Chains A and B, each alone.
Chain A
Amino acid sequence: MSALVTFDHATLGYGAKKILTDISYEIPEGDFLGLVGPNGAGKTTMLRNILGSLSPLSGTVTVRPGLRFGYVPQRESVDSVYPLQVVEIVMMGRYDRIGLGRRPTKTDRALAIAALEHVGIAHLAEQQLRSLSGGQKQRALIARALVGEPTVLVLDEPTEGMDLVATTQILSLVRELHAQDGLTVLMVSHALNEVANYVERIALVLEGGFRIGRVDEIMTEATLSSMYKIPVDVKVFDGHRVVVARRVAAQPTTGAHTHA
């Protein structure tokens, strides 16, 4: 399998601020990678380097020529004040193929409907986005990413703010798209427990630290305790891994000083 994206000793950040240093890894074709870490750790910085909207401060991030990303933004970043039908939003995924100054055709509309069928909400095509539930909105945005016939499906916090049922349905849908359509998937999330049971590999981004590997390599007590710097247990229930932090004594927060 050839690499679609290659990080080679890349230092990532903004301006003079380094967020992640000396990052080297590849995203091969057919990968199902979860980019996991808390808010502010550098997930978005890494994602923006992959998508090309940010350049590394040093080293290289190489994207295979001709690669098409199907980007699914955070649901809340899509403004529901616009009175747009679901099918109109899905057609946006083909705008770059339609060309500058041209209008979508019947074919584009048919492809948008097909993409909506693929994610199970074709019946909502003519509804307005703002009338949809969180899970339905997420499916619509996934359909928009798919209609552009991407090489890599990139999802940014796809389950943020969703309940258990909607979360499970969306993650199952993404796994199906990977398994049945052979899509390479990159899923960004802060929720390790959610992502770990769906993806094949995990890239763990913590403040100043980065570790990537297969799920069974990353989801060990030794690795996670070392990365999170607190003792954690990894339990397996019916084939599902769950990470539980052990109770620890309250520590003074950074910046609180004690004097000897």
Chain B
Amino acid sequence: MLSTILIFREALYGALVIALACSVLGVYVVLRRIVFVGAALAQLSSAGIGLALFLGGLGIGGVLTSHPVAMSLLITMLGALFFGAGGGSKSGVPPDATIGVTYAGAAAAGILLISKATTGEAHDIFLQGNILGMTLADTTVLLAVTIPVLLVHLVFYKEFLFVSFDRETARTMGYQVTRWNLLLYGTLGLVIAFAMQFAGVMLVFNFLVLPAVTGLLLAGSMAGIFTVAILSGLLASLIGFALSVPFDLPSGPAIIACSTVMALAAWVVRSLKR
């Protein structure tokens, strides 16, 4: 089994980097109750790829279409800024409905655009990703994005925590809450846009939610949540990967299944403790 896994070790490194970054950001996603913003951003990212492939097939768009990640990044960041600035909360539409509209619209747009694109892969790649196809070069790109993001979160942990936990009080103490939210959502969009290229919507969404939920269930402190989330994200990647290669299972769903089992186990442990 080990030798088989080693053949795909480059993909495993990539999966671990995605798991690490998404698990850290996922703590804020879960605590702030913006789980479906993560899903909507992932779908926007996939729509960006679809748009790039569609326009690229028509021979228009330049850099944005010759590198689908650029278009994906642009669309995802626009979505991140929109949600970071309040997600149209003043429009009278409930915030979760706005997220739902974005999710549905982006999902449909991604599929329609790719179906009419003359280049590109089958649309299910958006959902499942192609994590086994990751190379060391891909992982290097991912690291170049995630290391600065994680450093920003390490340095400004206190600020992100405060504006997430109690924005009104933060505002009265002079914090530019909207700017901090934009930075938080911006880092989220950045990681999602890059992770989406390889991991697909389902796996990115999994890493944004399940490890953090496991952390929330098992840990009694913020440091504990981050630690458990990171460890469970990494462990699920490792085990899911180890099971998927020899048993010929799709890697993404195998990792998600492992994350789900961990979250359920954490829930059982938490219930027994009470």
Contact = CB atoms under 8 A, between A and B. Distances in A.
Contacts of A162: none
Interface stretch (B45-53, B111-119, B216-224): B216-224
Contact of A95 (B31, B162, B171, B225): B162
Contacts of B173: 71, 93, 95-96, 148
Interface string A127-171: 010000000000000001000100000100000000000000000
Contacts of B158: 95, 98, 101-104
Given A77-B166, A84-B165, A96 B174 contact: yes
Nearest to B221: A83
Interface in A68-117: 69, 71, 73, 77-79, 81-85, 88-89, 92-93, 95-96, 98, 100-104
B225 A78 contact: no
B172 interface: yes
B220 A83 contact: yes
9 contacts: A73-B166, A73-B168, A79-B31, A83-B222, A85-B221, A92-B165, A95-B173, A98-B158, A128-B220
B2 interface: no
A51 interface: yes
A102 B161 CA distance: 13
A254 interface: no
B154 to A, nearest CB: 9
B165 A82 contact: yes
A53 interface: yes
B96 interface: no
Contacts of B170: 95
A81 B172 contact: no
Nearest to A92: B162
A71 B173 CA distance: 8
Contact of B165 (A79, A102, A128): A79
Contacts of A83: 216, 219-222, 224-225
Contacts of B33: 81
B169 interface: yes
Interface residues of B, number: 26
B198 to A, nearest CB: 31
A69 B170 CA distance: 11
B216 A81 contact: yes
Interface of B: 31, 33, 155-156, 158-159, 161-162, 164-166, 168-175, 216, 219-222, 224-225
A88 B161 CA distance: 11
B60 to A, nearest CB: 40
A144 B220 CA distance: 21
A180 B175 CA distance: 30
Most buried by A among B171, B173, B225: B173
A144 B166 CA distance: 12
A16 B130 CA distance: 52
A26 B226 CA distance: 47
Given A81-B31, A83-B219, A98-B158, A51 B172 contact: yes
A146 B230 CA distance: 36
Contacts of B169: 71, 73, 92, 144
Contacts of A88: 222
A53 B167 CA distance: 12
- Pairs of residues from A and B, 9 with the lowest C-beta to C-beta distance, nearest first: A71-B172, A96-B173, A101-B155, A51-B172, A73-B168, A71-B169, A53-B171, A82-B165, A73-B169
Nearest to A85: B221
Contacts of A95: 158-159, 162, 170, 173
Contacts of B221: 83-85
B165 A100 contact: no
Contacts of A73: 166, 168-169
A104 B162 CA distance: 13
A57 B164 CA distance: 29
B227 to A, nearest CB: 12
A78 B33 CA distance: 14
B129 to A, nearest CB: 30
A128 B33 CA distance: 20
Contacts of A89: 165
Interface centre among B156, B166, B169, B173 (most CB of A within 10 A): B169
